[in-house]
Structures are given as C-alpha cells and as structure tokens.
Amino acid sequence: MKINIASLNVCTFHPVPFDVPFPEPVEPPDRKDEQSFNEYIWQKFEEKKIILTDGLSAALDKNKRTDAECLFFTLPEFFWNISPYAVWHEEELAVLADFHNYEIKSYLQSFIKKFPESEFGKIILLPGTAGSLHKVMSDNVNASTYTAYNCIFCVNNFSNPEEQVSVSVWPKTNLAGYDYGYSMEAGDPVRFKVGKPGKTFIVDVKAKSASKASHENPHDSVFYNDILSNVPFMISLCADYHEAVDFRMNEWLNPAPKIHFLLACAMTLNQHKRYPLSVQYSYRNDGFAVGNIWQPIKGMSELKRVEDGVIVDAVSKPVNITDCISDDDYFMLKKKAADENLLSFYTIEVN
C-alpha cells in the first residue's frame, strides 16, 4: 500500500532567558508586561492554528498529485506549548493545563472536519503534543510538586464520517530535563526554574508519569493505532523512545505496527534500537535538531527503513528548516508554514 507522510519541521525548543550560569542572556518570550495570561495563550493558539492550517494545506496539495491510500501529517513534540518563560505565576500552570486538555482537543476535532475524505482523501493527523503540569500533594515547602501530562491527540477524517470525531490519546511517560523550563536539579523529581528574570518560581516535576493511552475516554486504555487497517502504526514521544524496551505494546490496539513515528524535541533515531519485527519504517519529526539552549536553529525530519527489527538505512536525506527564530518570538517562524523549506513530504510502500 502506498502511503504519504508529510510534516512541518517547526522549531519548538524555547531558549533559556537566564544569564546564570550561561555567558549571555537571550531575549525573553514576547508576552508583554501588561498582557494577561489568558490573552497571551489565546494569541499563541491562534498563531499555531495558522501554522497547522497552512502546513496541512500545502501537504494536501502535494498529496492530491499521488495515488497514495492515506496521508499521515505530523508536527513535533511541544508544538502546542508556549514558552515556559512566559509563565510568570504558579497559578498560571493550572490555567494552561486546562487549556491544553480541553481547547486543543476540541479544536482538533472541529479542524479535521474541514477536510472531508470525499474531497481530500484519507488523513491521519499526528499534530504534535501539548505538555502541561498538574499539581500533586507534597511535603516540600520550598517548591510545589507536579506530574507532567504531555500527550498527542490523534484524529482522522474517515473512521467516523457521520459521527463525532474520535480522538486517541498517547501520553509521554518519561520526563526530559528541558521539558518545562531551565533544569536546576536533575534526579527525581526534576527541579525547574520557570518564568523570566524578575518573575520566576520553582517547581519539582516527577521524572515518571503514570499516564496511559486512551481512546475517547480514560476507561478505554488503548490507542487505536489501526485506523488504517493495513497500516497500523505506533508513536514514541521523545524521551520515551530512549527508554523504550517494548514500546508499551500493551497500550496499542494492534500489537504489530508497520510504521513507527518519533515526535520529539531533541531525540535522535537509534541504529541499535530493537523494533517489533512488524515495523518497516521509522519516521522522526524533531523540534530541536540543531542549535543550543541559547539559540535553537533548526528542526528536522527523517525517514529510515527498518528490517528484522533494526534500522538499516535512510529512505531520503533529512529536510531541515532555516531562519526559524525571529527577533521577537521564539516559536513563530519567519516564513509561512507552507513554505517548501518547512514542509517534508515522503511517499513509501508499506507491505
């Protein structure tokens, strides 16, 4: 079966604005001093909607020129996040968590309806992740303790054409030291410094999350990865790939995936990683492929062939973006998302 995979190589890593212990500070996020948090997160949400819409439209323009059965469209980890350095008060973390859990999921359900199968063909949307922090009870008087909930909301335009769009949720379970701010202290929990110079606070985040996959509701603890029956797939979110032994196979509806997607922010594909024998391709969309914590420069995507459970070679050279950091905003791109330099497009044959 012929499958198309498209992605936007968006830079989603946020530079650290503190000048200690680093040699020089970077420009802080673009939240204005007088701007309310609600106004700011809605502003960034609207900007990301444009990126998603333009990017998918560009991919569909390429897709219609092929005879592929389905288009997978991906975005990297933390696509929906704002910079942790734009969060200036601890109570804003709860506001952001509610926003991620409700507004983004609801928007994606309505968004995919704009692209009916009859007109655009089959689309499976893997639209990056939204990561948030949820407060838990703690005896620590110096910092609040949180658990991270970083997940992808997967939707499609063909499995329930006459009903409410179904959503499968895949959460990340392992925390990385740069996920939610400047990491002051490694270990478990990880201590993060959040905010900007002059408006900072400290949070402790558990290194492991107990979150499980779900479909439609938390009681159906499985991810529907066989939406396209002949091409089941699986997902790894950044640090989970590094820790993966069995890729949490008990949480997939179909335990014999053929395509593996790594959606990340600084995690490479591992030539020594053992995949399920059913996997034929491993695909990576990374929001932090080139640069450093002062100046992230490029995201990237790449597609590699897998045989007998190991990566054997690259299907094509990675496609990188350039000029992804503007003078006044560390997330938005200088160029429109539909620019050819930002869009990667692959066609593969899956047996």
Report pLDDT digits (tens) over 70-119.
999 999 999 999 999 999 999 999 999 999 999 999 999 999 999 999 99
Whose tokens are 């949400």? That residue is 45
Tell me which DSSP letter residue 88 carries.
-
pTM: 0.90
CB atoms < 10 A from the CB of 242, how many? Answer: 14
pLDDT digits (tens, 9 = 90+) for 37-66: 999 999 999 999 999 999 999 999 999 999
pLDDT of residue 37: 98
pLDDT of residue 318: 46
> Half-sphere exposure of residue 326, counting CA atoms within 13 Å on the CB side?
11
Q: Annotate 145-157 with b (16+ C-beta within 10 A) or e (fewer).
A: bbbbbbbbbbbbb
Rounded Cα distance, 7 and 126, in Å:
9
Q: What are phi and psi of 103, to 5 degrees?
A: -65, -45
Q: What percent of the chain has pLDDT over 90?
A: 67
Mean pLDDT of the chain: 87
- Does the domain made of 2-349 have the CATH classification 3.60.110? yes
Which residues, 6 or more positions from 336, have their beta carbon under 8 angstroms from its beta carbon?
54, 342
pLDDT tier at 295, thresholds 50, 70, 90: confident
Which residues, 6 or more positions from 108, have their beta carbon under 8 angstroms from its beta carbon?
125, 127, 153, 155, 165, 167
Work out the average pLDDT over 155-163.
85
pLDDT of residue 210: 86
Which residues, 6 or more positions from 46, have their beta carbon under 8 angstroms from its beta carbon?
none
Rounded Cα distance, 325 and 127, in Å:
21
Among the listed residues 324, 291, 271, 327, the one whose alpha carbon sits nearest the alpha carbon of residue 8: 324
326, pLDDT greater than 70 = no
- Tell me the two tokens of residue 143: 């910092």
Which residues, 6 or more positions from 337, have their beta carbon under 8 angstroms from its beta carbon?
8, 10, 50, 51, 52, 54, 55, 58, 343
Work out the average pLDDT over 155-168.
86
Q: What are phi and psi of 238, to 5 degrees?
A: 45, -110
pLDDT tier at 327, thresholds 50, 70, 90: very low
Q: Which residue type is seen at 1?
A: M
Q: Which residues pair with 10 in a beta bridge?
A: none
Domain residue extents for the chain: 2-349
Q: What are phi and psi of 150, to 5 degrees?
A: -120, 115
218, pLDDT greater than 60 = no
pLDDT of residue 90: 94
Judge whether 269 and 262 are in contact, CB under 8 Å: yes
- Break the chain down into helix, strand, coil percent, rounded to 5: 20, 35, 45
Rounded Cα distance, 90 and 200, in Å:
9
Question: 70-75 and 122-127 as β-strands: parallel, antiparallel, unpaired?
Answer: parallel
Rounded Cα distance, 289 and 296, in Å:
8
Work out the average pLDDT over 277-283.
97
